[in-house]
Structure 1
Amino acid sequence: MRKNRTLSHENLADYEALMEFYFKNSPDKPIHRPASSLLVTNSGFNNFRGLFNLGLFLLLITTARMALENVMKYGIIMDPSSWIRFILHTPDKYFAFGLLICSNLFVITALLLERATVRGLLGNRLSLALTIWNLICVLAFPTGVILSVDFNPLFSAPVLLVYTTLFLKLFSYAATNRWCRQSQMKEMSQNLNKIAGLVSAKTVTDSCLLNQNKAKSELEDTSYVKQRNTITNVEGEEKEASNSSESSKQTNPEKEGEQFTQGNLLLHRTVSSPTMKSRSKSIPQFSEKFDITQLRCGRLSLCGSFGYKSLTETLEHEPYDPQLSLEKRPLKPLQYISYPDNLTLRNIYYFIFAPTLCYEINFPRTLTIRKTFLVKRLFEIIFIPQLCFCLVQQWILPILKNSVIPIQQAGFSQLVERCLKLAVPNHLIWILMFYALFHSFFNFLGELLHFGDRFFYGDWWNAETVPAFWSTWNIPVHRFARRHIYVPLISAGLTRSQAAMVVFFISAVLHEFLVSVPMKMPRMWAFLAMFSQVPYAYLVNHLFPNGGTWGNIAVWITLIIGQPLVMLFYFHDFYIAHYVKSDV
């Protein structure tokens, strides 16, 4: 029996043409063609927007049902005006305002220390010690006040966040000025070496000139002796001639002048000999090559800033639009300043209010202020926090109050149920606060201050690994950690893994500091939650080495589940410490 040969790739085009002819001319009117299902992986179909819309609609229905259930169970308990009444009637606002005013003392101290160091009033070591002490006081002062005064966490937490931000800003300010000072000293050392070379060249020139003058004086002495001998011989001959005949003197009066002329010619030939001519020509060439006055060594700049003084406009920077559109906004033409001209109140307070943690002497600036954009961001700053406060009143607080008993009884199923019930409203509020802070507030400040760099966050929602999320969701903190912690540690000899561990450890300590101090409860939950991201990142990388969809899901799991769990633990401890004990 003859077997049919398998269709080869070379005959594929002929086969398709044959099948097309068959479909058009077959009398049975065929309708079936070779095709695969859409949901097969190799089908090449990837348009699932309808299913995405279905998921959004189901999420909306589920959230609406939970909100309706909450209203039916607790009633409408949210009151937007209650926050305003609370702020107006509590005396804690005066403590918070006083602490914010006192923060200016540390800013001015940092500026005065830098100025004193530049003027030479403080040595480098003493300046560094005083700067470290000032930074310690930035965190120690509000901590002492908050712990010693009955301070409501709703006021103490924002104040402590402001002081922690100020600590990071002043650290960057001191470190950047120290880099500029070291660069200035390095350039000064290079210029001093140049000046030393010029001085040594001048010494060689003076030595050559001295040797020239010495040789010249010796030649003059030799010619003078020869001239005196010639004159003596002439005088002896004149005496002999005068004794023999005085009349010959009268008949040949030009003889004496001719002999004196020969003596002068001898002196001229001696001084203007070829050897001395070559010497006299070589010395001007040497002095012309190393002419001190020609290089103007007295005007050499030792501060390293002369390259910037002549610039009247900013360098070309990549414009960045806060709305992430293709529009290119022009930058404001500014004259660059250089160290130490940046040590002014205007410069340091611009940095304090700028939406960044990394100090630079010259920030990119925009040209204009968009009033419509500014009004939109201001509306969001006012509306979104009010919405979050209402959601906390209506949704979060009832769940937290009802979770105290399950946590005390250590019921795992009830704890999981409360955590999942808290996950949706907590995550919704977290996203709203992220938008209000990183987009609305930072862009509002940037627009007012003409701040050109508006890259405050990346596409963290697409992160397929845990490190990718922590590197893109908070760009100001990421830049600070990389610039002032990670890179210096690697330069000091640490490996990349060790430096990353140190960065996460410092971040975990600051997270615990921002939570434990206002609540006056060092429970270490925030520290453990933050530092546990290190082993969780290794686990996710091991399970999903290529990232992808499952890696992104792993990132969302730690965001949706981790935060509510930590919130439950802190609320339980706070409720037990401040309410249950007082009732007993």
Structure 2
Amino acid sequence: MMFKIVIKKFYVLDGRSSHNNGKIGLEFGLLQWGLGKFPKVVSLWLWMQLSALIIVYPGFYGWTMYRPEGKVDSKDHDKADMCPDFSKYLYFLFAPTLVYRDNYPRTATIRWGYVVSNFAQVLACTLYIYYIFERFCITVFRNFNRDHVSAKLFITSVFSCMLPGALTLLLGFFAILHSWFNAFAEMLRFADRMFYKDWWNTTSFASYYRTWNIVVHDWLYTYVYKDLSKLLGPKYRSICMACVFLLSAIVHEYVMVMALGFFYPVLFVMFMGAGFGFIFVKGTGRSWNVFLWLALFMGMGVLFCVYNMEWFARQNCPENYDHFIDYVVPRSWTCNFDAMKNNSQS
């Protein structure tokens, strides 16, 4: 009886009738759209790999061989040794790490069953994320801007997106940082599997950023933060941290722009606003862990709501400016409701 009540409420919230002939009624248009340019993705990946092999490596090798002597070089140091062997460089390109080493700890054998299971988990997480978008996002925002959007509707949409956003966050984390990285680590016999720590138990955002994605954190710390600290000095630790956050925010926003096809820097603002400010808020009690989770839930709810609104506004609303200005100005802010209704009626 309780199961039937939950199912009935699910259909009501989903905007569909509970009498659907017993079928889930999922459509795979979203997956088809997401994979519609797969050949282009593969070709771009191949070009990037080729450029890393035939441009980056020879260029770095030439620089190490012919750069002028400096204080960094010791008399008995061979400059050619500073450039890694091509085989080591090629291994680094595919290894699940961003920090180069001449040698990494290696395992003795490859467990192909473990590799297959991890790729199966990636596929399962992808299908689950698709289901979340199909049931809890598309059905809510499909008709966005066909009626006037009030503050009440916006707040309600944010709260309705918190759970789907949090689920997507956890699924994406598990699919990439656990399953995908472990699959490639196993195939390459890469023994260092410390891709993340128990970030879910942390009581501060500073600890969360250090443990959420150790692969990226190690790169930022090794190649950005340490060099800035040496350049500016220990007194400017906060400025160094701000520069790291700025670089990370720019890269995240670049990914969103390339994926969605429009510029709407909500993620950038949240990264450099609350995301950076919360690293100075520290606590040790369990209540701080609850605060971290609530902040993550609310942040994902806002991101899901705002980006979905803008995406469907661009599907339902006509362009108001030329192509470039329309690309950078949120259409959800400038949609002309009356003109749109008149166009739909005509």
1:339: how far off? 2.9
Q: Provide closer, same or farther for how the CA distance between residues 403 and 465 of structure 1 changes in structure 2, counting only shifts above 3 A.
A: farther
Give 1:357's match in structure 2, choosing from 98, 108, 114.
98
SS of the aligned residue for 2:190 comes to coil
Q: Distance in 1 between matches of 2:246 and 2:34?
A: 35
Q: Distance in 2 between matches of 1:510 and 1:418?
A: 27
Match of 1:170 in 2: none
Deviation per CA, 1:199-255, whole angstroms, max 9, x where unpaired?
A: xxxxxxxxxxxxxxxxxxxxxxxxxxxxxxxxxxxxxxxxxxxxxxxxxxxxxxxxx
Match of 1:398 in 2: 139
Match of 1:455 in 2: 194
Give 1:78's match in structure 2, choosing from 26, 39, 58.
26
Q: Provide closer, same or farther for how the CA distance between residues 536 and 343 of structure 1 changes in structure 2, counting only shifts above 3 A.
A: same
1:112 maps onto 2:55 in alignment: no
1:580 maps onto 2:317 in alignment: yes
1:557: how far off? 1.9
Match of 1:97 in 2: 42
Which residues in structure 2 correspond to 1:45-60 (within 5 Å)? Answer: none
Q: Provide closer, same or farther for how the CA distance between residues 341 and 500 of structure 1 changes in structure 2, counting only shifts above 3 A.
A: closer
Q: Distance in 2 between matches of 1:365 and 1:62?
A: 53
Q: Which letter maps to 2:218?
A: R
Match of 1:548 in 2: 285
Match of 1:303 in 2: 78
Match of 2:279 in 1: 537
SS of the aligned residue for 1:467 comes to helix
- The answer (yes or no) to whether the contact 1:529–1:566 under 8 Å persists in 2 is no
1:472: how far off? 0.7
Q: Which letter maps to 2:16?
A: K
- The answer (yes or no) to whether the contact 2:206–2:278 under 8 Å persists in 1 is no
Q: Provide closer, same or farther for how the CA distance between residues 575 and 85 of structure 1 changes in structure 2, counting only shifts above 3 A.
A: closer
1:503: how far off? 0.8
SS of the aligned residue for 1:581 comes to coil
Q: Provide closer, same or farther for how the CA distance between residues 395 and 106 of structure 1 changes in structure 2, counting only shifts above 3 A.
A: same
1:303: how far off? 2.9
- The answer (yes or no) to whether the contact 2:141–2:312 under 8 Å persists in 1 is no
Match of 1:348 in 2: 89
State TM-score, norm by structure 1.
0.49
Q: Distance in 2 between matches of 1:348 and 1:62?
A: 58
Q: Distance in 2 between matches of 1:450 and 1:358?
A: 17
1:412: how far off? 2.5
Give 1:566's match in structure 2, choosing from 283, 303, 322.
303
Q: Distance in 1 between matches of 2:56 and 2:304?
A: 37
- The answer (yes or no) to whether the contact 1:508–1:531 under 8 Å persists in 2 is yes
Q: Provide closer, same or farther for how the CA distance between residues 63 and 465 of structure 1 changes in structure 2, counting only shifts above 3 A.
A: farther
Match of 2:221 in 1: 482
Match of 1:297 in 2: none
Q: Which letter maps to 1:118?
A: T
Match of 2:330 in 1: none
Flag structure 2 segments of 5+ consecutive residues without an equivalent: 320-339
1:372 maps onto 2:113 in alignment: yes
Which residues in structure 2 correspond to 1:53-68 (within 5 Å)? Answer: 67-68=10-11
Which residues in structure 2 correspond to 1:91-240 (within 5 Å)? Answer: 92-108=37-53, 109-120=55-66, 123=67, 185-186=73-74, 188=75, 191=76
Deviation per CA, 1:376-434, whole angstroms, max 9, x where unpaired?
A: 2122122221122122112221123355468x53x233222111111112211221121
Q: Provide closer, same or farther for how the CA distance between residues 379 and 96 of structure 1 changes in structure 2, counting only shifts above 3 A.
A: closer
Q: Provide closer, same or farther for how the CA distance between residues 546 and 521 of structure 1 changes in structure 2, counting only shifts above 3 A.
A: same
1:446 maps onto 2:185 in alignment: yes
Q: Distance in 1 between matches of 2:32 and 2:249?
A: 35
Q: Distance in 2 between matches of 1:118 and 1:357?
A: 21
Deviation per CA, 1:55-75, whole angstroms, max 9, x where unpaired?
A: xxx9x9998675454467265
Flag structure 1 segments of 5+ consecutive residues without an equivalent: 1-57, 126-180, 192-301, 305-337
1:106: how far off? 2.3
Q: Distance in 2 between matches of 1:119 and 1:416?
A: 60
Q: Distance in 2 between matches of 1:442 and 1:400?
A: 33
Task: Give me the CA root mean square deviation.
Answer: 3.0
**Structure with larger Rg:** 1
Q: Distance in 1 between matches of 2:279 and 2:34?
A: 41
Q: Distance in 1 between matches of 2:304 and 2:263?
A: 14
Q: Distance in 1 between matches of 2:33 and 2:283?
A: 51
Q: Which letter maps to 1:78?
A: L
- The answer (yes or no) to whether the contact 1:489–1:499 under 8 Å persists in 2 is yes
SS of the aligned residue for 2:314 comes to helix
- The answer (yes or no) to whether the contact 1:79–1:390 under 8 Å persists in 2 is no
Q: Distance in 2 between matches of 1:420 and 1:429?
A: 15
Q: Distance in 1 between matches of 2:5 and 2:216?
A: 35
- The answer (yes or no) to whether the contact 2:161–2:300 under 8 Å persists in 1 is no
Q: Provide closer, same or farther for how the CA distance between residues 463 and 405 of structure 1 changes in structure 2, counting only shifts above 3 A.
A: farther
- The answer (yes or no) to whether the contact 2:253–2:265 under 8 Å persists in 1 is yes
Q: Which letter maps to 1:518?
A: A
Q: Which letter maps to 1:303?
A: D
Q: Distance in 2 between matches of 1:403 and 1:347?
A: 52
Q: Provide closer, same or farther for how the CA distance between residues 86 and 481 of structure 1 changes in structure 2, counting only shifts above 3 A.
A: closer
Q: Distance in 2 between matches of 1:389 and 1:352?
A: 30
Percent of aligned pairs sharing the same letter:
21
Q: Distance in 1 between matches of 2:296 and 2:78?
A: 50
